[in-house]
Amino acid sequence: MKTLMFIVILIGALALIGTIVIGGRGDKDYDESTKGNISRLSLIYLLLAIGIIVAFAVYLN
């Protein structure tokens, strides 16, 4: 089970990095709203990280 938790955390981290790297690219319309998009995506990943940490803590107890 610890291996699965590690895989989930790794996938989440890679997805976050990929989103940030790709976030600056795109068409003109996307570039105009990049800051808002990155902010929303960062919030989603923050909530995901909190959920993973809570699930992991529950699993350990």
Confidence at residue 12, expressed as pLDDT on a 0 to 100 scale: 92
Confidence at residue 27, expressed as pLDDT on a 0 to 100 scale: 62
DSSP letter for each residue of the chain: -HHHHHHHHHHHHHHHHHHHHHHT-S-HHHHHTHHHHHHHHHHHHHHHHHHHHHHHHHHH-
9 falls within a domain: no
Residue 37 structural domain:
28-61
49 falls within a domain: yes
Looking at the structure of the chain, the number of domains it has is 1
- Read off the pLDDT of residues 46-60 as tens digits, 9 standing for 90 and up: 999 999 999 999 998
Confidence at residue 1, expressed as pLDDT on a 0 to 100 scale: 81
Distance CA 25, CA 8 (A): 26
45 falls within a domain: yes
Instruction: Give pTM, 2 decimals.
Output: 0.48
Contacting residues for 31 by C-beta, under 8 A, at least 6 apart: 24
- Read off the pLDDT of residues 9-49 as tens digits, 9 standing for 90 and up: 999 999 988 888 887 666 666 556 677 778 888 999 999 99
